[in-house]
C-alpha cells in the first residue's frame, strides 16, 4: 500500500501545470490513486439546492441568469418563507440528500434578513441534514450569527483565475472573495469554494483557479467544479463550448491538489453524457447536486441519476461521512 498523498498548500504553478498536462491516462491514474487513498471510490455525496431568493442581483457576473445587469429576463423574488424552506428540505432528505444548500441572489445579505436565515439553518439542521448557504459576501458579524445558528458549510466560489476575474465580474474583486472565505474559515464554518470552467478562459486560468484554491491557508472542504451553463441574453450566452476532456482534466487536478476535499461535479450535468460523468467520478469527483433544478437552471431528473448510480455501482454517501480513512 502506497503512503497517502500528503496534504499540501504550497503547490507551485509549475507543478500544477505539469499535472494538468500529463498524458490523459497518466493524469486519470494519478487522480484515481489519490482518490482511493482518502475516499471510497464507489460513494458519491448528494446535495440539494434551493434558491431562497431569486433574481434581481446587483452584481454583474457574466454567466448568471440572476444578475439585474444582464439581459436575462428573470423576475426578482423576495426571500422565501422559513417554513417553505424546511418543507422543501424534508422532501430532499426523503430523496436521499444529506446536505441542503440554500442560495440567494445577493451581493451580500442585509441585516434585516439575518433572523430568517438563522431560522432556516436551525430548521434544516433539526431535520438531521448538513446545512450550507451561499449568500454572497459576508461581514464578520454575519458569519458569527450564521455559525451560531449551526451553519455547517458556506459556499463562496472564486469562479475563475485572478487574471480572468475582471473579464467575468466587475462589481467585486477576486480579493473580496478571498476576504469572505477567510472570515468563514476563521469562524470555524466549513468552506465550499470552487468555480466555473468553460467561460472562454485559457487553460492556464483553469490551472490557476485550482491552484488558488489549493494554496489557501486550508483547502476548502468542498470544491464545486461547474461547467458553464450558457444562459440566453447573458454576455456568455454564445461562448464556445469547452472540450469535455479539458473539464475532466480540471476535475483530476482538483482531486490531486486537494486530496481530502469533496470535489463536486456541479452545474452542467444535463449536457454531459453518462460516460463523461463516469469519467469525472473516476477522476475524483465524489459529490453531485440532485433534483431537477439547480438554482434556476436544469439538472438531471433524480431517476436518471439513480439509474446512472446503479449502472456504476455507486451508492450515496451517508451524512457526516467524509470518507477519510
Ligand atoms: N450570489 C451568491 C454568489 O454569487 O456567491 C450565491 C449564488 S451564485 C448563483 C453561486 C454560484 O453558482 C456562482 O458562484 C457560480 O459559480 C455558479 N453559477 C451561477 N451561474 C452559473 C452558470 N450559468 N453556469 C455554471 N455555474 C453557475
Ligand atoms: C456551485 O458551485 N454551483 C451551484 C452552487 N454552488 C450554489 C449553483 C449552480 C448554479 C447554476 C445556475 C443556476 O441554477 O442558475
Ligand atoms: Fe448575483 Fe451570485 Fe449571480 Fe453573481 S452569481 S449575479 S452574485 S446571484
280 marked as binding residue: no
Q: How confident is the model at residue 17 (pLDDT cuts 50, 70, 90)?
A: very high
First to last CA, the chain: 13
Residue nearest to atom 4 of ligand 3 (CA): 61
- For 118-168, the pLDDT digits (tens) are 999 999 999 999 999 999 999 999 999 999 999 999 999 999 999 999 999
- 1, pLDDT greater than 90: no
pLDDT tens-digit readout, 100-120 = 999 999 999 999 999 999 999
Q: Would you state the pLDDT for residue 306?
A: 94
Determine the pLDDT at residue 320.
53
Tell me, yes or no, if 264 is annotated catalytic.
yes
321 is in an annotated binding site: no
Are 136 and 173 a contacting pair, CB within 8 Å? no
- Yes or no: say if 49 and 103 are a contact pair by the CB < 8 Å rule: yes
Which residues, in sequence order, are CB contacts of 2 under 8 Å at separation 6+? 33, 37
Q: Torsions phi, psi of 208, nearest 5?
A: -70, -30
Burial 39-67 (b: 16+ CB within 10 A, else e): bbeebbbbbbbbbbbbbebebbbbbbbbb
For residue 214, how far is its CA from the centre of ligand 1 (angstroms)? 20
CA distance 155 to 277: 22
| Residue 319 pLDDT exceeds 90 | no
Mean pLDDT for 51-72 is 92
Query: Which member of 132, 145, 185, 249 is catalytic?
Result: 132
157 CA closest ligand 2 atom index: 2
CATH code: domain 22-312 is: 3.20.20.70
How far does the centroid of ligand 1 lie from the alpha carbon of residue 64, in Å? 6
pLDDT of residue 324: 37
Ligand 3 centroid to Cα of residue 161, in Å, is: 17
Q: What is the DSSP string of 163-176?
A: TTHHHH-SSS-HHH
Q: What is the pLDDT of residues 263-280, one digit of tens each?
A: 999 999 999 999 999 999
Question: Any long-range contacts for 288-291 (C-beta under 8 Å, 24+ apart)?
Answer: 288/44, 288/45, 288/46, 288/47, 288/264, 289/46, 289/47, 289/48, 289/49, 289/101, 289/264, 290/46, 290/47, 290/48, 290/92, 290/95, 290/96, 290/97, 291/48, 291/49, 291/92, 291/95, 291/97
Evaluate whether 158 touches 191 at the Cβ level (below 8 Å).
no
Q: Considering only CA atoms, which residue is closest to atom 3 of ligand 1? A: 136
Ligand nearest the Cα atom of residue 169: 3
Amino acid at each position: 500500500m502506497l503512503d497517502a498523498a500528503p496534504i499540501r498548500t504550497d503547490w507551485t504553478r509549475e507543478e500544477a501545470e505539469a499535472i494538468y498536462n500529463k498524458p490523459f491516462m497518466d493524469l486519470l491514474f494519478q487522480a484515481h490513486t489519490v482518490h482511493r487513498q482518502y475516499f471510497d471510490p464507489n460513494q458519491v455525496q448528494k446535495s440539494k439546492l434551493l434558491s431562497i431568493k431569486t433574481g434581481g442581483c446587483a452584481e454583474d457576473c457574466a454567466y448568471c441568469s440572476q444578475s439585474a445587469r444582464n439581459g436575462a429576463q428573470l423576475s426578482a423574488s423576495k426571500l422565501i418563507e422559513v417554513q417553505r424552506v424546511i418543507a422543501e428540505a424534508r422532501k430532499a432528505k426523503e430523496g436521499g440528500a444529506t446536505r441542503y444548500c440554500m442560495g440567494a441572489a445577493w451581493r451580500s445579505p442585509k441585516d434585516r434578513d439575518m433572523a430568517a436565515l438563522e431560522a432556516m439553518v436551525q430548521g434544516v439542521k433539526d431535520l438531521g441534514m448538513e446545512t450550507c448557504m451561499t449568500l454572497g459576501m459576508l461581514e464578520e458579524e454575519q458569519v458569527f450569527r450564521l455559525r451560531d445558528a449551526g451553519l455547517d458549510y458556506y459556499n463562496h466560489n472564486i469562479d475563475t483565475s485572478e487574471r480572468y476575474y475582471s473579464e467575468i465580474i466587475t462589481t467585486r474583486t477576486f480579493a473580496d472573495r478571498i476576504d469572505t472565505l477567510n472570515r468563514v474559515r476563521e469562524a470555524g464554518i466549513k468552506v465550499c469554494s470552487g468555480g466555473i470552467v468553460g467561460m472562454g478562459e485559457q487553460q492556464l486560468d483553469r490551472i490557476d483557479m485550482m491552484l488558488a484554491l489549493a494554496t489557501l491557508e486550508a483547502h476548502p472542504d468542498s470544491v464545486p467544479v461547474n461547467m458553464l451553463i450558457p444562459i440566453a441574453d447573458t454576455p456568455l450566452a454564445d461562448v464556445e463550448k469547452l472540450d469535455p476532456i479539458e473539464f475532466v482534466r480540471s476535475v483530476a487536478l482538483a482531486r490531486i491538489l486537494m486530496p481530502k476535499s469533496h470535489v463536486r461535479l456541479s452545474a452542467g450535468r444535463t449536457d454531459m453524457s453518462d460516460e463523461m460523468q463516469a469519467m469525472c467520478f473516476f477522476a475524483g469527483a465524489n459529490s453531485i447536486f440532485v433534483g431537477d433544478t439547480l438554482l434556476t437552471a436544469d439538472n438531471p431528473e433524480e431517476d436518471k441519476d439513480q439509474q446512472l448510480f446503479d449502472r456504476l455501482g455507486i451508492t450515496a454517501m451517508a451524512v457526516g461521512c467524509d470518507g477519510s480513512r
